[in-house]
Amino acid sequence: MKLTVYCWSRFGTLLIPLMCLILRSQAGVVDDFSQIDRCKDFLYMGTPPRGYFSTSLKKICQRYVDKPRFVTLYDPKKHIPIYSAYTFKKSDGEKRVDIPWMFEPQLATEKGSSNMEPFPQSSLMHKNFEDTQAVLEDYADVVQYERGQMNPDEHQADPLDKAATYTLTNVVPLIREFNFGPWSTQVEATRKRLNNYCHGKAYVITGVTTSGNMIRRDNLDRVAIPEFMWTAYCCTDYDHNAPYSERYKFPAFGAYGLNDRVNNHMVEIPIKNLEKFLKGKMEVDKNFQIFYSDCVSDA
């Protein structure tokens, strides 16, 4: 809001629309994904999931090297993303392991850069922004958990798009057995399915439900531990000659799994069924919807 007032008072009425548009297009934390051109491109019909109650959640247009890469709905109190939404890129499934973990300066201060940045070498510097987001120290001594990416780098092809997935605003603590087992298998199954049978653009949204359990550090609740992980994709231009075992999972399908050591298998279900399941697990209203019109094309 301060930027809007500045436009009025500093430049006068004739330049208001132009200057405000420039400032908003450069912002990373935004009021509405659907109003920012290059951010809404990661959402089917430019429309984010609807029905979330909380007003404290932050909408981040995740920028890396001055370019939006995906979007995240982030909880600055629980220090985890609620979901990340991205466009799938056909890839070989390789992971980037040489990328330093990054944070979001803009969550800590309005004057912070809208580009994600590598964590400073000094852990003392991390105290400057640990109130608003997770830091490396939160994951340092919790051997039972792994940093699970909501937008996995295996679903990206361009090296910079892959690198952008290595921000802590895109990860949640996953039980090792779940992360390297059922969840990893689901990420790969989705990659192969969209690689092989999606002809057009595929939109993916991956999110969490939480139950109140937290990673603690220095006797403080720091990072919420997801109860369930869920994911869904939307691809309206797909191969109608695909085997039925794959074809019936288009144009959209979803999956969820328990973030635990046991009973953690992934369940693949239609979008409507996933939405019904999530309504019982999250603070959302009765109109909760993952994709606009459930990914039913108007064409």
Q: CA-to-CA distance for 238 and 295, rounded, in angstroms? A: 13
The residue count of the chain comes to: 299
* Over residues 49-64, mean pLDDT: 90
pLDDT by residue (tens digit) across 139-152? 998 999 999 999 99
Q: What is the mean pLDDT of the chain?
A: 88
Burial code of 181-195, b = ≥16 C-beta within 10 A, e = fewer? bbbbebbeebbebbb
The pLDDT assigned to 28 comes to: 67
pLDDT by residue (tens digit) across 116-126? 999 988 878 88
Q: CA-to-CA distance for 62 and 73, rounded, in angstroms? A: 10
The pLDDT assigned to 5 comes to: 31
* Over residues 77-98, mean pLDDT: 93
Q: CA-to-CA distance for 106 and 143, rounded, in angstroms? A: 29
The pLDDT assigned to 35 comes to: 66
How does strand 29-30 pair with strand 80-88? unpaired
* Over residues 51-71, mean pLDDT: 91
Asked whether 103 and 115 are in contact (CB, 8 A), the reply is no
Task: Name the DSSP letter for residue 295.
Answer: G
User: Any residues with CB less than 8 A from the CB of 254 and at least 6 apart, and which?
Assistant: 230, 231, 232, 233, 268, 269, 270, 271, 273, 274, 290
* Over residues 99-115, mean pLDDT: 88
Most confident by average pLDDT, 6-20, 112-126, 209-223? 209-223
* Tally of CB atoms within 10 A around 37: 12
Annotation: CATH topology of 29-295: Extracellular Endonuclease; Chain A (3.40.570)
pLDDT by residue (tens digit) across 227-271? 999 999 999 999 999 999 999 999 999 999 999 999 999 999 999
The pLDDT assigned to 20 comes to: 37
Instruction: Give the pair of three-digit tokens for residue 270.
Output: 């239609």
Asked whether 206 and 230 are in contact (CB, 8 A), the reply is yes
State yes or no: pLDDT of 196 exceeds 50. Answer: yes
pTM: 0.88
Helices H / strands E in the chain, number of each = 10, 14
* Tally of CB atoms within 10 A around 237: 14
The pLDDT assigned to 290 comes to: 97
Asked whether 19 and 5 are in contact (CB, 8 A), the reply is no
State yes or no: pLDDT of 9 exceeds 70. Answer: no
**Amino acid, res. 126:** H
User: Any residues with CB less than 8 A from the CB of 109 and at least 6 apart, and which?
Assistant: none
